[in-house]
Amino acid sequence: MAWFGKPGADTSRMVVDLTARQDEREALVAAIARRMRLERPPGLPSLSPRVAAALLATPRELFAPADQAPHAYHDQVLPLAAGQTLSQPSLVALMTELLDIRSGDRVLEIGVGSGYQTALLARLGAKVHGLEVIADLAQAAERRLAALGLKNVTLRVGDGHGGWPDAAPFDAILAACAAPRVPPALVDQLRPGGRLLLPVGPADGAQQLCLVEKGRDNQVSERPLLAVAFVPMVTK
């Protein structure tokens, strides 16, 4: 990743070289497509051209700490500040596919972290409202997204349990942090026909990635999909 600008300057005025490490991005996307095709549990989606294009257009090294940038195109979790993590790219891709985002959808993201998942949602045309409980992470994510020219994102510092009521209803809600149970406030903020995807389970125990769907008749169904391990959803 090549940056042009003075340290500490307004990153919205910086230029990001999107051609840097393009070969590594292409190799990672090919590996993700292969993994999702061959290793996914039954009933889960493969990698679509739309999500593949978003991955190819989003430089993951920009969203990793400087000392982790060499590992940005390995399919692995990377550490962030304050005990948070940058999720494994294949899991990010799968979660993005499961939300079935369409251009213009209103999406709530809980646990923005460094902003990588946010960037993918924005590239798919979603109007993203992002919550991040750690102010420094939120501010850094906002600068990165601005540097990429992604303007369809609004970030706020706060925890995810109560959602974002004044921006609801949402077509989709995604959480990158685990709750002990599905928060009722998030279900309430789903539009009929909407989807909520989040890890459910204790911070130090077994977690399941769960898909919660609200029908057009407001009936709610919950389906566990696969075992995962995420940091806990923090209450501020």
Asked if 93 contacts 55 with a C-beta cutoff of 8 angstroms, the reply is yes
Averaged confidence pLDDT in the chain: 92
Pairing of strands 85-86, 78-79: antiparallel
Q: Which of 48, 87, 103, 221 is catalytic?
A: 87
Classified as helix, coil or strand, 81 is helix
- Is 87 one of the catalytic residues? yes
H or E element, residue 25: helix 22-38
Distances from the Cα of 101 to the Cαs of 71, 105, 143, 207, in angstroms?
28, 7, 24, 24
Fold annotation for 3-228? Rossmann fold (3.40.50)
Measured CA to CA, the distance from residue 142 to residue 18 in angstroms comes to 18
Asked if 153 contacts 184 with a C-beta cutoff of 8 angstroms, the reply is no
pTM (whole model) above 0.85: yes
Q: Phi and psi for 84 in degrees, rounded to 5? A: -90, 170
Domain positions in the chain are 3-228
- Per residue in 181-235, pLDDT tens? 999 999 999 999 999 999 999 988 899 999 999 999 999 999 999 999 999 998 7
